[in-house]
Structure 1
Amino acid sequence: MSYTIYDIARVANVSKSTVSRVLNNQTNISDEARERVMKAIEQLNYQPSKRARALSSGFDAIMVISRSAKTTSNNPFFADILQTIAEKAEEEHFDVILQTAKNNKDELDKCIAKIRDKMIKGIIMLSSPAKEDFFKQLDIFNIPIVVIGKVEGDYQNIYSVDTDNFQDSYDLTKLLIEQGHKEIACLHSPLDYHVSVDRLEGYKNCMQDYGLPLREEWMIDSGYTVETGTQAAKRLLTLDALPSAVLATDDLKVMSLYKAATELDINIPTDISIAGYNNTSHTPFLSPALTSIEIPVRKLGEAGTEILFSIIKEHKKPASRTIIKTEQIIQESILVKQ
């Protein structure tokens, strides 16, 4: 026989609203009433359906918002961090809804619809758009949103988990300079997201601090894929004035440079040195081994998910910004210039 909360209320001799508060872990209830309700639940072996819970408090689900497919194709970062989030959500007995969208308006409309239908209790965003209108329009719904990336504005319900992308790029550029390089190029992603902006700015600021020229033809937007990255790398590596080193602002740019150098018979690091970012299982197989910033993908996913569930389940108010430390790994892809 299937029992309802009305049956629990009858057996426990309490109101239906009291049963509802117990089932939703609310605190405005006496210990004695809570104990009677819990004994009635055990006596009746009550198993609430997800739909029944959703009608009063929402589904036990979080939503993960990824970037559009055209910007994540063949990028292992998104698959790796999604796997980490899914594992943590499973531990908390929550479902995960993955959302992609055609454009910003489509994405916003889908989010608002799911929030209003009580389909989700929180959101994790796998990127941080440089234009933060999206955040402003969602903040008013009083649902926790954790962004894996930088957030510049001040919001009530939006939290950032990120690495220090500006400083990491500054430090990688500084490393190249300290190894004797003065002609340093940069392959970067489109400046639609904070991460891309900050990594390019770290490079530019370091070059300026050391009095080195910034050449427009050496700062190349390389798109989001290995194909567009390889085309950009070939343009760079066939210039009449070849840089002595390149900073690649993500692992797809790194793989593009290695691929282009091989096809053009350019030796790394004898002909050109490379420093970049490593956050996948692919880059350890590159030869020569890459000097890089190691991005802690699992730590980002775990920290973001833990913050989200601390808000949802424990009603905690965490810090608005959390920075995860990275590690600089020095290997064989940089030639020391005398």
Structure 2
Amino acid sequence: MATMKDIAKLAGVSTSTVSHVINQSRYVSEEISERVNRAAQVLNYSPSALARSLKMNRTKTLGMLLTTSDNPFYGEVVKGVERCCYQKGYNLILCNTEGDNQRMKASIHTLLQKRVDGMILMCSSLEGERIDEFEKYPDVPVVVMDWGPMLFASDKIQDNSLQGGYMAVKYLIDCGHKKIGCITGPLNRHQAQMRYEGFKRAMRESDLLLNSDWIVESNFECDGGYQAFNQMYGKGELPSALFVCNDMMAIGVLNAAYEKGLKVPDDFSIIGYDDIHMAQYMTPPLTTIHQPKYRLGQAAVETLLAKLEQTEQDHQVVQLEPTLVTRASVQSMN
């Protein structure tokens, strides 16, 4: 493999001149630069990414930890992360944690050992975790996405789930619904709790009854929505409308309703949350709260890179606002 010394010999210049041309670290005349570049091409020289990263103290690589899920929401966020990394000239190492705490910590250790410049964490097992590994690498910025209070220093990117939950139920109320139920996500998770709080706030503002038979906690997955609806159905009268706290559970609800011969929105209305790509192709197309998933991923990368440039800046929370997307799954009662 050719070295800078070989290029210097062929081009008739010093090794330091070759280094300045290749790394663009100092002005070199156009004539000498052309000689060096021609020699490098003849020798098929390829600069070592490792050597350059050691010299610059940057690897131009970011790490991302993700809890594996069937929910396409996560894939749409990762797409935003990957696209932004590419546009900014960074590589991305993606690790799945499978929801396993030990695997998560092992992956964090591996990424830090590989000298990533920054790290994005989107792991459901993170909330309330103290990760001592980060204290050994204080110069590596960390961005946490979509989760609640952390016991380590980080920037945070999240959607305004309280406002999103409120908007969803306010829309049902504005459509004339008074008997409204809610299928929540796991209430030990911050975003699920906030969406449920938004539901309760909208109901209280309109002096509407919170019927415990119409409130079921579930798991943010299709099977959870399916089981939660069956549980609610088994208790007797259904509400006229349901706020289902993510679109994946809404798919499960639609399937359970179909099995029972119920039609949406004729027999009851439903509104979801996330606006995953397939929401518009459900039967009926799902009214839902849109999370800016691509923008969440993009904001995570931009926040990390800003931190690399200004290491002294305080940790910040970037909160992106949800929007309502109306389709055909909610019937107007007015």
Q: Structure 2-normalised TM-score?
A: 0.81
SS at match of 2:289: strand
The change in CA–CA distance for 1:63 and 1:134 in structure 2 (over 3 A counts) is farther
Equivalences, count: 318
- Paired residues of 1:129 and 1:192 also in contact (CA < 8 A): no
- Paired residues of 1:291 and 1:331 also in contact (CA < 8 A): yes
Q: Which amino acid aligns with 2:47?
A: P
Give the aligned partner of residue 229 of structure 1. 225
SS at match of 1:35: coil
Give the aligned partner of residue 35 of structure 1. 27
1:11 to 10, 14, 25: 14
Q: CA deviation at 1:168?
A: 0.8
The change in CA–CA distance for 1:6 and 1:217 in structure 2 (over 3 A counts) is farther
Which runs of at least 4 in structure 1 moved beyond 6 Å after TM superposition?
A: 5-8
Give the aligned partner of residue 108 of structure 1. 105
For the residues of structure 1 that align with 2:105 and 2:209, how far apart are their CA atoms? Answer: 41
Is 2:333 the counterpart of 1:337?
yes
SS at match of 1:322: strand
Q: Which amino acid aligns with 1:333?
A: S
The change in CA–CA distance for 1:214 and 1:41 in structure 2 (over 3 A counts) is farther
Q: Deviations over 1:153-195 (max 9, x none)?
A: 6965x22222211111012112222323222111122234322
Give the aligned partner of residue 48 of structure 2. 49
For the residues of structure 2 that align with 1:76 and 1:59, how far apart are their CA atoms? Answer: 30
- Paired residues of 1:128 and 1:151 also in contact (CA < 8 A): no
Give the aligned partner of residue 61 of structure 2. 61
Q: Which amino acid aligns with 2:26?
A: R
- Paired residues of 1:184 and 1:247 also in contact (CA < 8 A): yes
Structure 2, unaligned runs of 5 or more: none
Q: Which stretch of structure 1 is more off in the superposition, 216-225 or 296-305? A: 216-225
- Paired residues of 1:128 and 1:195 also in contact (CA < 8 A): no
For the residues of structure 1 that align with 2:203 and 2:88, how far apart are their CA atoms? Answer: 46
1:293-312 alignment, distance < 5 Å: 293-312=289-308
Q: Deviations over 1:51-91 (max 9, x none)?
A: 32344535332111111x3xx12x11112222232222223
Q: Which stretch of structure 1 is more off in the superposition, 206-215 or 271-280? A: 206-215
1:126-275 alignment, distance < 5 Å: 126-127=122-123, 131-134=127-130, 138=134, 141=137, 142-150=139-147, 152=149, 158-275=154-271
For the residues of structure 1 that align with 2:27 and 2:300, how far apart are their CA atoms? Answer: 34
Give the aligned partner of residue 30 of structure 1. none
- Paired residues of 1:128 and 1:194 also in contact (CA < 8 A): no
The change in CA–CA distance for 1:289 and 1:279 in structure 2 (over 3 A counts) is closer
Q: Structure 1-normalised TM-score?
A: 0.80
- Paired residues of 1:307 and 1:318 also in contact (CA < 8 A): no
For the residues of structure 1 that align with 2:38 and 2:310, how far apart are their CA atoms? Answer: 30
Q: Deviations over 1:265-298 (max 9, x none)?
A: 1121222111112432211122333222122222
The change in CA–CA distance for 1:271 and 1:130 in structure 2 (over 3 A counts) is farther
Q: Which stretch of structure 1 is more off in the superposition, 162-171 or 175-184? A: 175-184
- Identity of aligned pairs, percent? 22
